[in-house]
Copies of this chain bind each other. A is one copy, B any other.
Amino acid sequence: MSETRSDADCAASWCTDDPWCGLTCAVDVLGHKWHPVVVHRLLARGPLGFGDLADDIGAVTNKVLSETLADLEAAGVVDRTVVDDRPVRVEYSLTDDGEALAPAIEALQDWGERYLDD
């Protein structure tokens, strides 16, 4: 449905023709306190509800988790699905773009683990 993604679709719209444009775009999406963690949890555990995510992550407030999920949804990395039960549940899952983040998430985690284990 989406044709070519415009520069404006990337928060790094200030980066136009630099060789590192893709990099800044990716860091714009992941470079926040909880954004990479949410993607990590969805990669590891599959689709999760809001409360499940909150419980899993622990030290995040509902306001910030909500904003984080909204950001990731706006970026096209996360899908939000309302499951019409009673009470209503909402399920968050990764889009294809979200799943495609797996190698980057792993590379970052590998580096960080080695770094902390020096």
Set B3, B14, B111: member contacting A26, Cβ < 8 A: B111
Are B37 and A20 in touch, CB under 8 angstroms?
Answer: yes
Residues of B within 8 A of A85 (CB): none
Are B103 and A107 in touch, CB under 8 angstroms?
Answer: yes
A104 to B9, CA, bound (A): 23
- Name the interface residues of A64-78: CB closer than 8 Å to any CB of B: none
Set B18, B26, B32, B33: member contacting A108, Cβ < 8 A: B26
Selected A-B contacts with CB under 8 Å, 14 pairs: A4-B117, A5-B116, A19-B44, A20-B37, A21-B116, A23-B37, A24-B37, A24-B112, A25-B112, A97-B115, A100-B114, A103-B107, A104-B108, A107-B108
